[in-house]
C-alpha cells in the first residue's frame, strides 16, 4: 500500500492575493520539483512514497526483459527513466513505473 500525502499549492490569482485551488496539468508540470515523487490526481497534487525493495526488483526486472526483447528484435523502442504521463480525460499526471515509448519524440 502506498502512503499518499496531499500537498496544497498556492497559485496566485493576482500579485496581491493568493488562493488555494485545484491545479491544471500545465501548472503541475511547471511546478513539479526534481527531487521527490509527485503525481496529479484530478487536480490535486499527491506526494508519492519512494518505491522500495520488491517493487524496485519487479520494475527493474520488467524493464530489463523488455529492453532485451527490443534489442533482439531490433525495435526502436525505449523506456524513459522519469516521465510524466497525462491522461486525455482529466487534469491528472502520473509517473509510471515502466513505460514503453514506440516513437521518436526528441
**Mean pLDDT for all residues in the chain:** 80
pTM: 0.67
Instruction: Tell me the pLDDT band of 104, cut-offs 50, 70 and 90.
Output: low
Residue 8 pLDDT exceeds 60:
no
Instruction: Tell me the pLDDT band of 25, cut-offs 50, 70 and 90.
Output: very high
Burial track 33-60 (b if 16+ CB lie within 10 A, e otherwise)? eeeeebbbeeebbbebeeeeeeeeeeee
Q: Is 76 exposed, middle or buried (0-12, 13-18, 19+ CB in 10 A)?
A: exposed
Residue 105 pLDDT exceeds 70:
no
Q: From start to end of 8-106, where are the E strands?
A: 10-12, 18-20, 37-41, 44-48
pLDDT at 9: 52
CA distances from 85 to 9, 14, 102, 103 (A): 20, 29, 14, 15
Q: 22 or 3: whose pLDDT is higher? A: 22
**95, 37 contact by CB (below 8 A):** yes
Instruction: Tell me the pLDDT band of 90, cut-offs 50, 70 and 90.
Output: confident
Distance CA 55, CA 6 (A): 22
Amino acid at each position: 500500500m502506498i502512503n499518499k500525502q496531499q500537498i496544497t499549492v498556492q497559485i496566485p490569482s493576482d500579485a496581491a492575493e493568493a488562493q488555494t485551488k485545484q491545479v491544471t496539468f500545465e501548472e503541475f508540470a511547471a511546478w513539479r520539483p526534481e527531487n521527490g515523487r509527485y503525481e496529479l490526481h484530478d487536480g490535486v497534487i499527491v506526494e508519492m512514497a519512494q518505491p522500495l525493495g520488491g517493487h524496485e526488483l519487479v520494475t527493474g526486472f520488467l524493464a530489463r526483459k523488455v529492453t532485451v526483447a527490443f534489442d533482439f528484435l531490433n525495435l526502436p523502442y525505449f523506456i524513459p527513466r522519469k516521465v510524466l504521463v497525462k491522461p486525455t480525460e482529466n487534469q491528472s499526471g502520473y509517473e509510471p513505473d515502466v513505460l514503453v515509448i514506440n516513437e521518436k519524440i526528441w
